[in-house]
């Protein structure tokens, strides 16, 4: 099934927040590739768009499946959009391993950003929404997105990768902005605020 067919007809779902058990436990592999999965993916795309994110894992809508969707540019600002089931990320080693540190955020801890160094190139293998094998090589923000979303499916949130000091700052930011995000966000929209999103950042 073409990705374009999955971009319509979805229902916006509440985004699950850090602290919920599903966000901090490994997911189950996707084994059934049919209409039910397609409907979930449609809902995930609709939810990601409503939240203005670049990636969304199934755990972020409360489902413990190894699945994520993304709509994200690469290092050359070329947009990429797709679905990964049962993804595995491989990172370069040795001379090919370059770290890039930028502000990173998460839709499940809305409004908070801290710098995190990640490898600037990532190869993700897995299956598409119909179970066919796929491989995507991501650079720049897309590489970060592939790593961030695959982390989610292993029960890791990006705050787990921060130092204690930066993690404390991240949670402080989230607490200060929590009043802007209803419990069912993005079903209910974010409240207006003068605080803007950092220019060089991404929420996933």
125 three-state secondary structure: strand
Q: In terms of residue numbers, what domain contains 137?
A: 3-193
The domain tally of the chain equals 1
> How many whole angstroms separate alpha carbon 27 and alpha carbon 140?
26
Strands (E), the chain: 55-57, 67-73, 79-90, 99-105, 113-119, 121-127, 133-139, 201-203
pLDDT in single tens digits along all 204 residues of the chain: 899 999 999 999 999 999 999 999 999 999 999 999 999 999 999 999 999 999 999 999 999 999 999 999 999 999 999 999 999 999 999 888 999 999 999 999 999 999 999 999 999 999 999 999 999 999 999 999 999 999 999 999 999 999 999 999 999 999 999 999 999 999 999 998 644 454 345 677
| Residue 135, domain member (yes or no) | yes
Q: What is the CATH number of the domain that holds 10?
A: 3.90.45.10
Of 20, 93, 149, 175, which residue is the catalytic one?
149
Instruction: Note the pTM of the prediction, 2 decimals.
Output: 0.93
149 catalytic? Reply is yes
| Residue 203 domain flag | no
Residue 201 lies in a domain: no
Q: Which two tokens stand for residue 88?
A: 């595995």
Whether residue 62 is preceded by a cis peptide bond, meaning omega within 30 degrees of 0, is: no
Report how far residue 82's alpha carbon sits from residue 74's, in angstroms, rounded to the nearest whole number.
Answer: 13
With respect to residue 199, please indicate whether it lies within any of the assigned structural domains: no
In a domain, 102, yes or no: yes
Query: Does 86 fall in a domain?
Result: yes
């Amino acid at each position: 099934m073409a990705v374009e067919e999955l971009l319509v007809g979805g229902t916006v779902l509440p985004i699950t927040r850090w602290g919920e058990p599903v966000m901090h436990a490994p997911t189950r592999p996707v084994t059934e590739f049919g209409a039910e999965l397609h409907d979930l993916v449609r809902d995930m795309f609709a939810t990601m768009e409503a939240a203005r994110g670049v990636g969304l894992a199934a755990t972020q809508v409360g489902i413990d499946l190894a699945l994520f969707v993304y709509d994200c540019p690469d290092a050359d600002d070329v947009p990429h959009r797709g679905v990964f089931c049962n993804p595995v990320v491989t990172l370069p080693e040795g001379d090919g391993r370059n770290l890039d540190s930028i502000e990173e955020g998460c839709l499940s801890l809305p409004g908070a950003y801290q710098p995190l160094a990640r490898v600037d190139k990532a190869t993700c293998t897995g299956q598409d929404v119909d179970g066919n094998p796929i491989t995507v090589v991501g650079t720049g923000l897309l590489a970060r997105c592939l790593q961030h979303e695959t982390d989610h499916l292993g029960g890791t949130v990006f705050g787990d990768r921060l130092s204690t000091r930066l993690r404390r700052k991240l949670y402080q930011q989230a607490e200060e902005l929590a009043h802007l995000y209803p419990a069912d966000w993005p079903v209910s929209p974010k409240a207006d605020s003068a605080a803007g999103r950092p220019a060089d950042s991404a929420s996933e």
